[in-house]
Amino acid sequence: MTTPVTIVGAGLGGLTLARVLHVHGIPATVYEADVSAATRTQGGQLDIHEEDGQRALADAGLTDEFHAIIHRGADAARVLDRDGEVLLEVPGDSMTRPEVLRGDLRRILLDSLPPGTVRWGNKVSGVRALSGGRHELSFTDGSTVTTDLLVGADGAWSKVRPLVSDATPEYVGTTFVETYLHDVDERHAATAEAVGAGAMYALAPGKAIVAHREAGDVLHTYVELTRPAEWFARIDFTDAAAASARIAAEFDGWAPHLTALITEGETAPVARMLHTLPTGHHWERVPGVTLLGDAAHLMPPSGDGANLAMFDGAELAKAIATHPGDTEAALTAYEEALFPRSEAFYADAHEMLDVVLGDRTPFGFIDLFTSGPRDETR
User: Looking at residue 372, what is its pLDDT?
Assistant: 56
* The one-letter amino acid at 311: F
CATH class of 170-276: alpha beta
Give the integer Cα–Cα distance in Å for 153 and 290: 9
* The one-letter amino acid at 105: L
Strand 77-80 to strand 199-204: parallel, antiparallel, or no bridges (unpaired)? parallel
Which residues make beta-bridge pairs with 118? 30
* Domain range annotation of the chain: 5-72+100-167+279-354, 170-276
* Fold for the domain defined by 5-72+100-167+279-354: FAD/NAD(P)-binding domain (3.50.50)
**Phi, psi of 153, rounded to the nearest 5 degrees:** -115, 35
Indicate the DSSP class of residue 233: H
Give the integer Cα–Cα distance in Å for 238 and 243: 8
Q: Could you report the per-residue pLDDT of 128-187, keeping only the tens digit for each?
A: 999 999 999 999 999 999 999 999 999 999 999 999 999 999 999 999 999 999 999 999
- CB burial class (10 A; 0-12, 13-18, 19+) of residue 332? middle
**Residue % of the chain over a pLDDT of 90:** 83
Report which secondary-structure segment, H or E, holds 263. Answer: helix 256-263
Does the bond joining 362 to the residue before it have cis omega, within 30 degrees of 0? yes
CB 221 within 8 A of CB 211: yes
Q: Could you report the per-residue pLDDT of 213-262, keeping only the tens digit for each?
A: 998 889 999 999 999 999 999 999 999 999 999 999 999 999 999 999 99
Strand 118-119 to strand 28-31: parallel, antiparallel, or no bridges (unpaired)? parallel
Confidence of residue 377 (pLDDT cuts 50, 70, 90): very low
Closest by Cα among 373, 324, 357, 366 to 173: 357
User: Looking at residue 216, what is its pLDDT?
Assistant: 81
Give the integer Cα–Cα distance in Å for 69 and 63: 10
Whether the per-residue pLDDT at 303 is higher than 80: the answer is no
